[in-house]
Structure formats: C-alpha cells, structure tokens
Structure 1
Amino acid sequence: MNEKERELLSLIEKEGRMKEESLAKMLDTPADEIAAMLKSLENRKVILGYSALIDWSKTDIAETVTAMIDVKVTPKRGVGFDEVAERIYRFKEVKALYLMSGTYDLSVSIEGRSMSDIAQFVSEKLSTLDSVISTTTHFQLKKYKHDGVIFGQDEEGDHRMVVSP
C-alpha cells in the first residue's frame, strides 16, 4: 500500500461522502487516479463499505434496543476463538463482534426490537453454543458519542466551556 492510498483512506474514514474531485484537490492527484485508487481498495477488500451515522432519536422511526454482551468461551484446539466467533457473527442480530483481553473473551454488539428480543437471543441462540461458558449483558441506555460524533448536541447555543478564576 502506498502513501497516497493511506492518505486517501484517512480522509474517507472521517467523511465517506467526499467527492472524488475534493479528494483529488486535497491529495494533489487527478480525480481519475483517485477513482482508480478507490476502486482498487474496494476490490482488495481494504474498503469494506460506506455507511451513514444516524441519530434515530430525531426520527419518527422506533429505535431498536442495543446490547453489549460479554462472552466467556472455551477456545478449540487448532482454531482458537475463530470457530465460535464465526458461529456467533453469522446471527443476523449481531452487529459487531470483537476478541477482547480481560475477564471475557468476546464482546458482541446486538440489536433487537425489545429487551425481550435480546433476552431470547441470549437464552436460545448464544448461550446454547457448546463453547460458550457464560455471558453478561449490558443494555445501551443512551448514545452520547459514536465514531467521534457527538449525539444530541444542537448546533445553536453557546457551547463554550465556562472558565472561572
């Protein structure tokens, strides 16, 4: 991977909607070369997709319930955690899955329509897997910041920090 590709990735990671012309100016590279780099990065699976970050609380669409589940598992000889991780990430409810250090081995982020949907997922799907020893479920109550974006902050008003002697 060359330096221009690294710079391009850094730019689109912060703002995936930037036009090729803007990226070309910022990187001092012709727009057709930027388009070719993006296509190459997509084909090589370096860029896996583009997504929008939405504050669902400001819409009339019912919000989903999000939970983080800590999972302790028994790794299998020869494949470690990969086999059980693959079984878990194939469930449609799973939005993210990470191998972690510390007390628990895996951290699973899931979404459901209700807390009982999450409970049903844990009791019927996740905890029944052979390698799963235990789980601890944490429900997300409010989102303050995600991927560097602050939620619930209005553009209006004075947001300066109060400084007193």
Structure 2
Amino acid sequence: MNETKLEILRILEENGRLPIDTIAKLVQRDKEEVAKIIQSLEDEKMILGYRAVVDWEKDQENTGVTAMIDVKVTPKRGVGFEQVAKRIYRFKEVDALYLMSGAYDLSVVVHGETMTEVANFVSEKLSTLDDVVSTTTHFRLKTYKHDGVIFHDEDNEDKRMVVSP
C-alpha cells in the first residue's frame, strides 16, 4: 500500500468526518485524487464504515448493558474456528467477535437492554451451540477509554482521600 493511502486511512481512522478538501491539504494532494483514493478504499472493503464514538453513560435514559463473553469452542477440522464464528456473529445481539489467544478461543461483545436479556442470550443461544464448550461472562460497568477516546471527565476526578494500611 502506498504512503498516501496509508496516511489517508490514519486520518480517517482518527476523524472520519473531516472534509475531503481538508484531508487533501493534510496529504498534499488534490481533492479529486483523495476522493478517488477514499472511494477505492471503500470499494476494496478496507474502509468498512464511519462511526461516532458515543458516551452512552451520559444518556440517563440509556438502560442498556454490555457484556464481554469469553467462549471456549471445539474447532472443526479443515475450517478451524471460522464456522462457529460465523454462527455466533450472525446473532443480532453480537456487536463484536474476536479470535483470541489464551485460555479462551473467542471473545464476544454483546449488548442488551437488561442483564437478564444478555443472560438469556448466553444460556439459550450461545451456550447451546454444539461447538461451544464453555463461556464466561463479564459485564461492563464503566468505560474509561474506547477506540482511543478517553471518556474520563477531568472535572469529575475522584476527590476521596486515599487510605492505605
């Protein structure tokens, strides 16, 4: 991949809302060339979408929960983890799915309206798959940083006195 494409990708990854003429100035190319490069990156599925990073904790009406589920599976001969991964990522509850190294094979990020809804997903859908050996569910309590964006509000620093033995 050439240096200009790489630079454009990094710029868009940092801020996908930048206008093309601003990106063109940053990479010292003309606007039409940058537009063609971005279009080709989208066509090649290198750029898969543009999303905002939202601090949902600031929405008092947001009652949803997010869980990270570690999944141990039995890989299939000839296809490895691909077949079970496809079955899992097709569930509407699944926001993200990663193949991992370590004690568990897959890491599944799930969003639901309540903890019960997530628990039902795990017990009724995920755990019942033939290839799933075990699961461990972790519920997200607070977000400090996501996609490189810090969610920490300096004005809300913890002012409690540190007490140690």
SS at match of 1:71: strand
The aligned residue for residue 81 of structure 1 is: 81
Partner residue, 1:133: 133
Decide whether aligned partners of structure 1 residues 63 and 54 sit closer, same or farther in structure 2, where only a CA change above 3 A counts: farther
Structure 1 residue 57: deviation in Å? 1.8
Q: How many residues align?
A: 157
Report the Cα distance in structure 2 between the residues aligned to 1:86 and 1:66, rounded to whole angstroms: 21
Q: Which runs of 4+ in 1 moved over 3 A?
A: none
Q: Name the residue aligned to 1:90.
A: 90
Any stretches of 5+ residues in structure 2 without a counterpart?
Answer: 158-165
- CA shift for structure 1 position 157: 9.2
Is 1:16 matched with 2:16? yes
Task: Indicate conservation of the 8 Å contact 2:63/2:114, yes or no.
Answer: no
Instruction: State whether residues 57 and 63 of structure 1, in contact with CA within 8 Å, keep that contact through their aligned partners in structure 2.
Output: no
1:142 is aligned to: 142
Aligned-pair distance for 1:60? Answer: 4.1
Instruction: Determine whether 1:27 maps to 2:27.
Output: yes
For the aligned residue pairs, the C-alpha RMSD in angstroms reads 1.5
Aligned to 1:161: none
Q: Distance in 2 between matches of 1:95 and 1:71?
A: 15
Deviation at residue 152 of structure 1 after TM alignment = 3.8
Amino acid at match of 1:140: R
Residue type of the partner of 1:33? Answer: E
Deviations 1:73-122, CA, capped at 9 Å, x for gaps = 00000000000000000000000000000100000000000000010000
Aligned to 2:47: 47
Percent of aligned positions that are identical: 59
Cα deviation code 1:35-82 (max 9, x no counterpart): 111111001100000000011122243241000000000000000000
Q: What are structure 1's unaligned runs of at least 5 residues?
A: 159-165
Quick check: 2:94–2:110 contact (8 Å CA) kept in 1?
Answer: yes
**2:109 aligns to what SS in structure 1?**
strand
